[in-house]
């Protein structure tokens, strides 16, 4: 890691520059004195109150915003309802035609504590989604409070506050608290067990008894939710082995309590007992795991359900990959934060061997009893902090090891130790505040890792579901664009704020006026230019001059060639020629302005820190709050809304009239119980759903008094339902609520509302009045090509395409007869010895050709991006269909080798 001394810039700064960039002196307003440790009683209840307010604001809102995720949450909620009926006597929750018996551990697939908590919520508050989630949010709050307690008591109240801020902006922890998946209980149990056992190991006096009670409660809760390995062995071995390391290395003599018989201390008794419990738990857990099979009843000691055949990717690194996305963006900072835990900053007043302030033991300068007592207290504080750091590092390792041990048997499991990771991050941030050196390696490394993870989210949007750790979950396609925007905002806020926080030391003062700042900026710029000119003895500057001369020549050649009509220039693509003409001035200008922009951003952040009077390290937490706010209140609630039928049921309640019935297809009717107080009819397949919706003869129930009917349908079933409806009515089935790409609300009557059926963009109810490029060609006697047009990204029709820019080729067909076979479409743009080949599934594969009805007008929208080697000119467009090596035969219209010659495409 870099030290503060690494921040020196090339060149000799002036006295004013030196003064403005000097580190902030200890005790300056807005900065915590270097190495200061908060004294007991200082700040009263302000810091803990702030920690609990932040935890409450992050955990409890939006519990009822998103509905129940079918089947994952719905299964958990139904199991909890059955427990409420049989254990708590909530017979009013009994559902007809549903299983109401008490579930077994095998049904639960984990320990019962999570489900019992949800059942109690249903018993007290009724059968609502938020009633099942509220007890889980309370568990999460208890875990955050435990984390604050141990760090605030043993280290510093600020450390406790920072840990709560980090924990409650980790998506894994927050979203598990807001969903009825059950794994927030083992996460909170881990936080309680680690906090209690660590406090019992390191604290003194009567408080140790309270810590023991908390630790035992955490171990018991972990056992009742996730068994021995995850719930008991991980925290037990973490704290127990930390004690063993401290004792073996001769540390902990001032932290483990008063001396007892045989030279033991109270902390030794706690550490040894915890180590024995942890070792016994892991031994018993591994033995049970070795005997268990996937089809055997679940054993409470194991606490996890085994898979018949775990995924191939269920290896030791599965947890790392999961955490990278589930803890994003904190996952980009955590590796570096844990690296900094290995070295604590010197505490204020800590004596060195030479009698100064720093690390070391009491020196000869400690002449008075007060100084000796202060030295002893400083040494005890140092040892307590070192022991706490060891406990964080070792427990995090055992938490990872427990999940990695079970992954090859049980697949992906939610990581149970986010609280321990939050503690490590908080200590690293507090170190910066107390005087630890900043690090450009940490700043740039965190930014790079965050961008790599962001690229993962963009290329594989389903990584956004990592916080839930469920198998075979589908990411809603319509949410991909919105997801990218939300994640971009989160990662930009985190990278910018975190990078600036760790990049340098906060200067002691900022320029007093804009004029002073401008003079300093000019001086710094001049020094940078002079230093740049000296690199490689001036050869780098000479090389840049040569490159600039070449760019001027290229620009001049293209400029003259365009006007003179030179063939070599006219054959260039427009994009390449535009770049060539402007590169000679654009690149030097960008190169010259980049340092100004970067220095302005740096100085703006310095001013923000100075004016806010907050420690510079606190802005790392601001980064987490910004990113966590975007994700916790924007991205993930929007994603959850796409996955749940709640909005669709609420839309039905708003729009329907009395006597208009509702049925569901592909969604279990029990989901309606949580929104409208009773189950609805469940239809078995699309054909029966169509018959019921249109009240055709032979429908499963008699026609209702009202002619209008409503149907909740999964998006995967909409194409077939739409095809049946078009065959009957000649138009697309009415969709009254299509906000979710997963679950839709359909009716047999549209009324005066717009049709939100996404198939309407592909299958038109009427032929367009005008098509830019009309064509008449037939594929056998089944399909007729009637025209095409090119649009830009905003849907506007254009008369040409530009290489490397996205355009859309919209091709219109009329269905003459049912289309036989399975075909894919090709698009060839040929000319100048170049070809664009656009093979793609017809309509993106979303509305198969075997569903097309006679008379349908179908529009295939295919994105076209030409390569940069396409020069200006006219190119021939060929269209057709293929299956393997065969092409759909063209029987009418201009064609070549069963490719319709559709006309010319102009490349600009």
Listing DSSP states for 710-735 in one string gives EEEEEGGGHHHHHHHHHHHHSSPPPE
> Over 90: is that where the pLDDT of 541 sits?
no
Q: Which residue(s) pair with 789 in the sheet?
A: 810
Other CB atoms within 10 A of residue 411 CB: 19
> Over 80: is that where the pLDDT of 736 sits?
yes
Query: Max CA-CA distance within the chain?
Result: 108
Closest of 342, 380, 336 to residue 362, by C-alpha? 380
Asked if 858 and 843 count as a contact pair (C-beta separation under 8 A), the reply is yes
**Angle subtended at Cα 728 by Cα 725 and Cα 730, rounded to the nearest 5 degrees:** 80
Residues 343, 346, 350, 352, Cα dihedral to 10°: 80
**pLDDT for the residue 65:** 82
Give Cα 871 distance to the centre of its chain: 42
Q: Is the omega angle on the peptide bond into residue 329 within 30 degrees of 0, that is, cis? A: yes
What token pair was written down for 379? 């040494």
Closest of 206, 203, 205, 185 to residue 195, by C-alpha? 203
Closest of 601, 708, 614, 724 to residue 661, by C-alpha? 708
**pLDDT for the residue 625:** 94
Stretch among 157-161, 640-644, 760-764, 774-778 having the lowest mean pLDDT: 640-644
Helix or strand run (H / E) with residue 610: helix 574-612
Burial readout 201-216 (b: 16 or more C-beta within 10 A, e: otherwise): bbbeeeebeebbebbb
How far is the C-alpha of 510 from the C-alpha of 416, rounded, in Å? 45
Question: Radius of gyration of the chain from Cα atoms?
Answer: 34
Asked if 256 and 142 count as a contact pair (C-beta separation under 8 A), the reply is no
**pLDDT for the residue 44:** 63
Tell me, yes or no, if the pTM score tops 0.85: no
How far is the C-alpha of 130 from the C-alpha of 122, rounded, in Å? 9
Average pLDDT score over residue span 718-727: 94
> Over 90: is that where the pLDDT of 495 sits?
yes
> Over 50: is that where the pLDDT of 366 sits?
no
Helix or strand run (H / E) with residue 394: helix 369-410
**pLDDT for the residue 377:** 72
818-864: per-residue pLDDT in tens?
Answer: 998 889 999 999 988 888 999 999 998 899 999 999 999 999 999 99
> Over 70: is that where the pLDDT of 634 sits?
yes
The 3-state secondary structure of 243-307, one letter per residue: HHHHHHCCCCCCCCCCECHHHCEHHHHHHHHHHHHHHHHHHHHHHHHHHCCCCCCCCCCCCECCC
Mean model confidence pLDDT for the chain: 85
Closest of 610, 866, 650, 835 to residue 739, by C-alpha? 650
Output the CATH code of domain 763-907: 2.60.40.770
How far is the C-alpha of 624 from the C-alpha of 213, rounded, in Å? 32
Helices marked H in 65-128 — which ranges? Answer: 72-87, 105-108, 113-125
How far is the C-alpha of 443 from the C-alpha of 500, rounded, in Å? 7
What 3-state class would DSSP assign to 736? strand
Burial readout 145-169 (b: 16 or more C-beta within 10 A, e: otherwise): bbbbbbbbbbbbbbbbbbbbbbbbb
Where does the pLDDT of residue 38 fall: very low under 50, low under 70, confident under 90, or very high at 90 and above?
Answer: very low
**pLDDT for the residue 374:** 65
Helix or strand run (H / E) with residue 634: none
257-270: per-residue pLDDT in tens?
Answer: 543 434 557 788 89
Q: Which residues contact 282 (CB under 8 A, 6 or more apart)?
A: 228, 229, 233, 237
Distances (CA, A) of 585 to 263, 545, 555, 582: 78, 13, 10, 6
How far is the C-alpha of 161 from the C-alpha of 425, rounded, in Å? 12
What token pair was written down for 587? 């690149």
**pLDDT for the residue 318:** 74
Q: Which residue(s) pair with 890 in the sheet?
A: 779
Stretch among 141-145, 462-466, 566-570, 897-901 having the lowest mean pLDDT: 566-570
């Amino acid at each position: 890691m870099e030290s503060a001394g690494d921040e020196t810039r090339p060149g000799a700064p002036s006295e004013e520059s030196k003064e403005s960039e000097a580190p902030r002196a200890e005790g300056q307003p807005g900065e915590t004195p270097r190495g200061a440790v908060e004294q007991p009683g200082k700040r009263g209840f302000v810091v803990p109150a702030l920690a609990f307010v932040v935890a409450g604001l992050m955990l409890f809102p939006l519990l009822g915003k998103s509905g129940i995720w079918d089947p994952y949450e719905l299964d958990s909620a139904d199991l909890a309802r059955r427990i409420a009926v049989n254990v708590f006597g909530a017979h009013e929750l009994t559902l007809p035609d549903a299983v109401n018996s008490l579930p077994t551990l095998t049904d639960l697939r984990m320990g019962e504590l999570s489900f019992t908590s949800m059942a109690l919520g249903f018993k007290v508050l009724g059968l609502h989604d938020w009633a099942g989630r509220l007890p889980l949010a309370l568990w999460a709050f208890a875990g955050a409070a435990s984390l604050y307690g141990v760090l605030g008591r043993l280290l510093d109240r600020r450390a406790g506050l920072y840990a709560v801020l980090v924990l409650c902006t980790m998506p894994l922890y927050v979203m598990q608290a807001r969903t009825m998946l059950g794994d927030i209980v083992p996460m909170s149990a881990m936080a309680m067990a680690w906090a209690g056992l660590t406090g019992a190991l390191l604290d003194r006096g009567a408080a140790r008894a309270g810590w023991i009670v908390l630790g035992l409660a955490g171990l018991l809760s972990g056992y009742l939710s996730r068994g021995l390995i995850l719930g008991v062995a991980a925290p037990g071995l973490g704290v127990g082995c930390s004690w063993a390391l401290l004792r073996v290395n001769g540390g902990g003599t001032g932290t483990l309590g008063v001396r007892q018989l045989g030279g033991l201390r109270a902390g030794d008794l706690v550490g040894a007992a915890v180590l024995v419990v942890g070792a016994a738990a892991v031994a018993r857990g591994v033995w049970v795991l070795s005997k268990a099979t996937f089809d055997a009843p679940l054993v409470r000691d194991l606490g996890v359900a085994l898979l018949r055949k775990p995924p191939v990717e269920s290896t030791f690194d599965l947890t790392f990959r999961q955490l990278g996305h589930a803890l994003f963006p904190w996952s980009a900072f955590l590796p570096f934060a844990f690296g900094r835990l290995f070295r604590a900053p010197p505490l204020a007043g800590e004596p060195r061997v030479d009698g100064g302030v720093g690390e070391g033991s009491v020196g000869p300068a400690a002449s008075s009893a007060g100084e000796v007592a202060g030295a002893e207290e400083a040494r005890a504080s140092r040892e307590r902090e070192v022991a706490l750091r060891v406990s964080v590092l070792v427990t995090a390792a055992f938490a990872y090891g427990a999940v990695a041990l079970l992954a090859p048997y049980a697949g992906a499991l939610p990581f149970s130790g986010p609280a321990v990771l939050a503690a490590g991050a908080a200590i690293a941030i507090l170190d910066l505040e107390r005087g630890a050196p900043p690090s450009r390696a940490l700043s740039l490394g965190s930014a790079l890792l965050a961008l790599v993870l962001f690229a993962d989210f963009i290329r594989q949007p389903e990584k956004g579901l990592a916080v839930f750790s469920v198998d075979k979950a589908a990411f809603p396609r319509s949410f991909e664009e919105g997801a990218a925007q939300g994640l971009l905002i989160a990662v930009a806020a985190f990278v910018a704020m975190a990078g600036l926080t760790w990049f340098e030391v906060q200067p002691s003062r900022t320029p007093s006026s804009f004029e002073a700042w401008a003079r300093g900026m000019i001086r710094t710029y001049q020094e940078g230019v002079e230093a740049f000119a000296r690199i490689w003895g001036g050869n780098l500057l000479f090389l840049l001059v040569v490159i600039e001369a070449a760019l001027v020549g290229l620009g001049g050649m293209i400029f003259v060639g365009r006007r003179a009509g030179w063939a070599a220039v006219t054959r260039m693509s427009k994009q390449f020629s535009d770049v060539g003409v402007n590169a000679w001035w654009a690149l030097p200008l960008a190169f010259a302005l980049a340092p100004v922009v970067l220095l302005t951003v740096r100085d703006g952040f310095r001013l923000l820190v100075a004016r806010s009077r907050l420690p510079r390290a606190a802005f790392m937490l601001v980064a987490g709050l910004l990113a966590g706010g975007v994700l916790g209140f924007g991205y993930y609630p929007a994603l959850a809304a796409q996955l749940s039928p709640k909005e669709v049921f609420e839309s039905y309640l708003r729009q329907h009239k009395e006597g208009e019935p509702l049925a569901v297809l592909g969604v279990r009717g029990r989901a309606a119980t949580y929104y409208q107080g009773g189950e609805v009819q469940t239809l078995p397949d699309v054909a029966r759903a169509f018959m019921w919706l249109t009240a055709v003869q032979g429908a499963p129930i008699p026609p209702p008094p009202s002619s209008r009917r409503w149907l909740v349908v999964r998006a995967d079933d909409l194409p077939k339902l739409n095809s049946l409806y078009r065959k009957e009515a000649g138009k697309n089935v009415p969709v009254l609520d299509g906000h979710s790409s997963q679950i839709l609300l359909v009716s047999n009557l549209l009324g005066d509302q717009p049709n939100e059926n996404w198939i309407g963009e592909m299958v038109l109810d009427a032929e367009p009045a005008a098509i830019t490029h009309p064509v008449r060609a037939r594929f056998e006697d089944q399909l007729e090509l009637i025209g095409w047009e090119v649009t830009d990204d905003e849907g506007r029709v254009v008369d040409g395409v530009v290489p490397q820019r996205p355009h859309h080729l919209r091709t219109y067909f009329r269905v003459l007869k049912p289309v036989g076979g399975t075909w894919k479409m090709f698009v060839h743009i040929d000319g100048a010895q170049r070809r664009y080949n656009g093979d793609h599934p017809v309509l993106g594969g979303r509305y198969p050709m075997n569903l097309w009805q006679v008379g349908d007008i179908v529009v295939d929208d295919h994105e076209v991006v030409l390569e940069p080697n396409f020069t200006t000119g006219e190119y021939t467009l060929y269209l057709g269909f293929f299956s393997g090596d065969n092409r759909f035969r063209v029987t009418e219209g201009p064609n070549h080798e069963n490719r319709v010659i559709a006309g010319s495409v102009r490349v600009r």
